[in-house]
Amino acid sequence: MEFSPRFETYVLLSKKDKTVGSMLGGIIPSKESSLSHLKHALIKGAYLEGNDTRAIYLGSDLAKRLDVDVGEEIAMIGSSLDYSTAADLFTVKGIFRTGLFEFDSTSAFANKAYLDNIMMSKNKASYFTLSFLDNQAAAKYVNALKDKLPRTCEALSWQMLLSTLVQAMQVDSLFGYISISIFFLVIFFVIMIFSYVSIYARTRQIGLLRALGFTPKDIRILLFNEMLIIAFFSVTLGGIIGAAVTYYFEIHPLVVSGLAETYKDYGIISDALPTRFDLFTISWNALSIFILNLTSILYPIYKINQLSVTEAMRHV
């Protein structure tokens, strides 16, 4: 489920008499580097690596506030998950700059594997990038998370981030629905056009059938059944292909670099566009298309049944 968990916690970073509150993120460097442009935001020193221990990756403005440079040592104090004080010394390994002031002046990252030891946060992640498409799951998750967070976080931007996450998802889904309804509208028309055209190509044949004693109702049933068969096959095929594609993208998510950092304040916390392989969504979409298919031939059938037998027979 998680393809890049992050553990984030509010800590104090300090050098000499300068102490600054900051968000320290525990990341898996290799995974993160393929997903986000955190690595590319590097301006000095080096990016984190999987076997790093006391290495910290600092935002440029945060480094400025602490008055530290690459290679220098800073102290970190935070609260671990059992409420005890977590403290350690870190060496600045690299400095990054995303251009987003709020982010650059408050964020720091360390290797999750190491940070987990200090914070006792092993197997805990502050968020999973995937839960984000599923409103309900995320809301539940957010609530669960609230309980798990150290109390010291309470007054801080954490909650702000989390509540925004939920809201962002709601807005996102609203506009998603609007877009999808436009897509469906076009698809509906295209199917209707095609079925109309293909039914009309058979006008003569239908006229013949009518002459042989078929009622308009029989014609309707005939065409509807044909559509049913076509729709069934196309939806099944489309469903399988769609599911395969979705499944592929769930494992290899699409990445728009920089998205996470850019939209952090708006609650979008990964730059991978998470694609979720969810049978429910897939079947729901397939069913909609199926119904769309069937409704789209109603008008063509009506039109063809309007024609009299002779008209149909003479049709060119």
Partner 1 sequence: MKYLLSFIFITIILCGSEADMIIKKVEDNLRGDFMYAQMRMIVTGKRGVRTVEVESWSKGDNKSFIKILYPKKDRGITFLKLDTQMWQYIPKIERTIKIPPSMMLQSWMGSDFTNDDMVKESSMAKDYHANLLSKTSSTATIELRPKAHAAVVWGKIIVDIDLNHMVPITEVYYDDQMEKVRIMTFGNIQQHGSHRLPMVMELKPLDPEKKSNRTKVIFEKVDYDNYIDESYFSKHALKRYSN
Partner 2 sequence: MYKIAGQLAWKSLMRRKTRTWMVITMIAMSLSGLLLLQGIYDGMVSHMINTAIRSDSGEISLYASKYRLEKNLDYRIGNLEDIKKYLDKQNMIDAYVIRLAQEGLAATAHKSLGAILKGISLEDERRFGNFDTFLSQGEYSFGDKDREALVGFKLAEKLKATLGSRLIFTAQDANGEINAIAFRIKGIVKTGGLAIDEGSIFISMEKMAEFLSLSGAATQIALRIKNESKIKNVQNALQREFESIDVLRWDELYPLLIQMREMMDVFNMVSYMIVFTIAALGIFGVILVSILERVREFSIMLAIGTPYQNIRHQIVTEAFIMSLFGYVLGAFSGGILLLYTASSGIDFRYFEAGLESFGLNAVLYADIRGYYFLQAFGAVFFATLLSVLWPLRVLKKIKPIEAIQGKML
Residue 43 CB coordination number (10 Å): 11
Residue 33 CB coordination number (10 Å): 17
Q: How many residues bind partner 2 (CB under 8 A)?
A: 43
- Rule CB under 8 A: say whether 123 interacts with partner 1: no
Query: Which one of partner 1, partner 2, none is in contact with 240 (Cβ closer than 5 to 8 A by kind)?
Result: none
User: For partner 1, which is the closer residue by CB, 85 or 181?
Assistant: 85
Segment interacting with partner 2 (CB under 8 A) among 72-80, 113-121, 263-271, 285-293: 263-271
Site string (64-103) toward partner 2, x via CB under 8 A: xx---------------------------------xxx--
Residues within window 62-101 making contact with partner 1, judged by CB under 8 A: 75, 77, 83-85, 87-89
Q: Which helix (H) or strand (E) holds 80?
A: none
- Rule CB under 8 A: say whether 19 interacts with partner 1: yes
Report CA dihedral (139, 143, 148, 152) to the nearest 10 degrees.
110
The length of the chain in residues reads 316
Segment interacting with partner 2 (CB under 8 A) among 25-33, 165-173, 223-231, 280-288: 165-173
- Rule CB under 8 A: say whether 174 interacts with partner 2: yes
Q: Which helix (H) or strand (E) holds 308?
A: none
Q: Which amino acid is present at 220?
A: R
Rounded CA gap, 118 and 124, in Å? 13
User: For helices 157-200 and 203-211, what crossing angle results, to 10°?
Assistant: 60
Q: Dihedrals φ, ψ of 244, to 5°?
A: -65, -45
Segment interacting with partner 2 (CB under 8 A) among 22-30, 77-85, 156-164, 277-285: 156-164
- Chain center to CA of 262: 15
CA dihedral over 49, 54, 58, 63, signed as positive or negative = negative
Rounded CA gap, 205 and 293, in Å? 23
- Rule CB under 8 A: say whether 265 interacts with partner 2: yes
Rounded CA gap, 216 and 56, in Å? 77
Tokens (6 digits) for 2: 């998680």
Among 8, 32, 61, 134, which residue interacts with partner 2 (rule: CB under 8 A)? 61
Segment interacting with partner 1 (CB under 8 A) among 13-21, 102-110, 222-230, 231-239: 13-21
Tokens (6 digits) for 197: 């055209």
Q: How many residues bind partner 1 (CB under 8 A)?
A: 21
**3-state SS assignment for residue 21:** strand
Among 1, 123, 144, 147, which residue interacts with partner 1 (rule: CB under 8 A)? 147
- Rule CB under 8 A: say whether 14 interacts with partner 1: yes
Rounded CA gap, 140 and 131, in Å? 10
- Rule CB under 8 A: say whether 20 interacts with partner 1: yes
- Rule CB under 8 A: say whether 155 interacts with partner 1: yes
Segment interacting with partner 1 (CB under 8 A) among 44-52, 99-107, 144-152, 298-306: 144-152
Residue 18 CB coordination number (10 Å): 12
Site of interaction with partner 2 (CB under 8 A): 61, 64-65, 99-101, 105, 155-156, 160, 163-164, 166-171, 173-175, 178-179, 181-183, 185-187, 189-190, 192-194, 196-197, 200-201, 262-263, 265-266, 303
Site of interaction with partner 1 (CB under 8 A): 12, 14, 17-21, 75, 77, 83-85, 87-89, 147, 150-152, 154-155
